[in-house]
Amino acid sequence: MAYHRVIPASVAVADHVHSAMWITPETLAAQIQWMRSVGEIVDLAALVNADDTATRRPLFALTFDDGWRDTYTVAWPLLRAAGVPATVFLASDALEHDHLFWPEDVVTKTHHIALRGDEARVRAALADVWPASQPRPSISPAGALCEAWVEALKLLPEQARRSRIEAYLRRIGARTEPLNGYIMTWDHAREMSRSGITFGSHTHTHTILEGLDDDEMTQELVVSRRLISSQLQCEIDLFCYPNARYTGDEGPVLERCGYRYGFVIDGRQVRHPVDPYYVPRFLMSEEIARNRDYLSLHLLEAPLYAGRPHRRRAATVGATVRPPAPRLRRSAEAKGEGG
């Protein structure tokens, strides 16, 4: 199970949080109760290494991506009260500088500006900075149009992306420095680690590995692993891919950098023996959780459920990876770079 933010619906609305990125505390608590009623919640290593014949009950593992502050303030108290394990994947640079990730930063600022009645200003600014190589959709709400722009920016080189973002933020009258107060601190992470929460890497700068060369990828993986290990005084050998994007060629680099496992989001079945660098997870959100019958049936057959053989699916560079729920799905890639 891959979670991101655990927040009240009012907070999600106030900051225009993407629907794939949040779940309410009440829904998380109910899901923990349901999982424990039908199976067992275990840590990631126990699930991935589970003996197919050891148990007939489903095994579930809970993961939280990015290192959001509400993982500490909201999710962790629920986990602690229920006595269940979990893993948190950190983008280490965000904790170092208390910087909100650039996609969420841009969308949140845009939403706040639009709420003041400046939607026309936002749309005009987006038109000026839209990459010529990417189609501009006909979307009316400024927040939704900005989300589409963010997706287009992910295909640009970093310097070109930064330049467009700075020009856009100045044009709409927003501060260019990233918002703060959204990401947990190292003190929060240390407290959680001492209580038994496992931590892993989500790269250093939350960059998408797809498209990086081996040296760039190695830099992201090594710096993040070293920094998290130093701050938390524990071994870091788990990794998950930002934005759920991967090519299928990263495994040797992860292994060389000291990681034992890599986790993706695509809703496939966990089959044994599992490919350790492409272990599937199921993206959970409040939107998906509304369809309880679909969710219950799917979780009992697919992601992070031990005891089913795994076959690696060939990855296509640039392919959108989605949970298999046609009426509910919004892809992990479309949610912004906070994944």
Same-domain pairing of 246 and 275: yes
Question: What Cα–Cα distance (Å) separates residue 275 from each residue in 7, 81, 271, 332?
Answer: 33, 33, 9, 21
Same-domain pairing of 162 and 295: no
Same-domain pairing of 42 and 70: yes
Same-domain pairing of 75 and 164: no
Number of domains in the chain: 2
**Residue 92 predicted with pLDDT over 80:** yes
pLDDT for 57 = 80
In a domain, 194, yes or no: yes
Quick one: what percent of the chain has pLDDT higher than 70?
A: 85
* Domain end position, chosen among 140, 172, 204: 172
In a domain, 247, yes or no: yes
List, for residues 28-48, the tens digit of each pLDDT value: 999 999 999 989 999 988 888
List, for residues 40-70, the tens digit of each pLDDT value: 999 988 888 776 555 678 889 999 999 999 9
CATH number of the structural domain spanning residue 190 = 3.20.20.370
pLDDT for 269 = 63
List, for residues 263-287, the tens digit of each pLDDT value: 999 876 666 677 899 999 989 999 9
pLDDT for 51 = 66
Same-domain pairing of 198 and 295: yes
In a domain, 177, yes or no: no
Query: Could you write out the DSSP letters of every residue in 288-325?
Result: HHT-HHHHHHHHTTSTT-SSS---PPPP-TT-----S-
Q: How far apart are CA 254 and CA 291, in angstroms?
A: 36
Same-domain pairing of 61 and 153: no
Question: What average pLDDT does this structure show over 95-111?
Answer: 95
List, for residues 183-217, the tens digit of each pLDDT value: 999 999 999 999 999 999 999 999 999 889 999 99
pLDDT for 306 = 43
Q: How many CA atoms lie within 13 A of 37 on its CB side?
A: 7
* Domain end position, chosen among 144, 172, 200: 172
* Domain end position, chosen among 139, 172, 205: 172
**Residue 79 predicted with pLDDT over 90:** yes
Same-domain pairing of 64 and 20: yes
3-class SS string, 231-244: HHCCCCCEEECHHH
In this structure, are residues 57 and 192 in contact, taking their beta carbons and an 8 Å threshold?
no
Question: What average pLDDT does this structure show over 211-230?
Answer: 96
**Residue 218 predicted with pLDDT over 90:** yes
Same-domain pairing of 89 and 153: no
pLDDT for 301 = 64
**Structure-model confidence comparison of residues 222 and 303, the more confident one:** 222
Same-domain pairing of 76 and 193: yes
Same-domain pairing of 113 and 132: yes
pTM of this structure:
0.85
Same-domain pairing of 95 and 109: no
| Region of poorest pLDDT, from 48-52, 80-84, 118-122, 129-133 | 48-52
pLDDT for 333 = 35
In a domain, 179, yes or no: no
Residue 155 is given by DSSP the state: T
Q: Domain range spanning residue 202?
A: 2-99+185-335
Question: What average pLDDT does this structure show over 72-81?
Answer: 98
In a domain, 180, yes or no: no
In a domain, 242, yes or no: yes
Amino acid at 96: E
List, for residues 135-175, the tens digit of each pLDDT value: 888 877 888 899 999 999 988 888 999 999 999 999 999 99
Same-domain pairing of 263 and 114: no
Q: Is 2 helix (H, G, I), strand (E, B) or coil?
A: strand
